Structure 1
Amino acid sequence: MPLKTTRFDVLDHLKTPADRFAYIEAAFEDGDPALITHALGDVARSIGMTAVAKEAGVTREALYKALSEKGDPRLSTLLGVTRALGLQLSARPVHPVEAP
């Protein structure tokens, strides 16, 4: 008997702010720019691209393009999208920094 499978849709798992944050955090921890862009696009779609684009200060079409598979969002777009998603980017050292 063949194994029955169902189609996986990540949007089914991005219902709460905590879910969305964990998903984006994992993408940033991986460090792959394409994965980060893809994760941001998934989360933006889970909220609504029109609302995210408006909050980010870009057109919906520009947001789709920036967060597409071949997209490479500008820093200003990245910052606007993360703000629109209720996130703030920060930096931390990869390796422990010794105090002088």
Structure 2
Amino acid sequence: MKLAKFDAAEYLDNEEVIAAYLNAALEDENPDVFLIAIGDVAKARGMTQLAKDTGLARESLYKALAPGAKPRYDTVFKLIRALGVELHTSPAHK
């Protein structure tokens, strides 16, 4: 039996699902998890369209979303806005 590799991008088809996916990624302490999640959403939306929407080159997007990358805040902000979601904070529960 041959199994296909799971690709989250295939399931990220609306803003509610995308927001839930990104929120789950934000719960992980490893920042690479969030970058990978943004990359999955970018793939689902189309990297070429995302590059146009953000004004960033495709190559820059791939570099910014690579594990271990340290993208600038303005880059992450542009990506989030172009993906049609917003980030919010709430008090931490103790």
Q: TM-score range by the shorter chain?
A: 0.7 to 0.9
Q: Structure 2 length normalisation: TM-score?
A: 0.85
2:27 aligns to what SS in structure 1? helix
1:30 aligns to what SS in structure 2? coil
Percent identical residues: 41
Q: Which amino acid aligns with 1:40?
A: I
Choose the corresponding residue for 2:59, options 30, 55, 61.
61
Q: How many residues align?
A: 94
Deviations 1:48-84 (A, max 9, x none): 1111122122111101110012322110000000000
2:52 aligns to what SS in structure 1? helix
Q: Which has the higher contact order (CA 8 A, sep 6+)?
A: 2
Q: Which amino acid aligns with 2:5?
A: R
**Unaligned ranges ≥5, structure 1:** none
**Unaligned ranges ≥5, structure 2:** none
Q: Structure 1 length normalisation: TM-score?
A: 0.81
1:26 alignment partner in structure 2: 24
Moved over 6 A (4+): none
Query: Matched residues in 1 for 2:91 and 2:19: separation?
Result: 21
Query: Matched residues in 1 for 2:48 and 2:4: separation?
Result: 29
Q: How does 1:1-100 map to 2 (within 5 A)?
A: 5-95=3-93
The alpha-carbon deviation at position 4 of structure 1 amounts to: 5.2
Whichever of the two has the greater Rg, that structure is 1
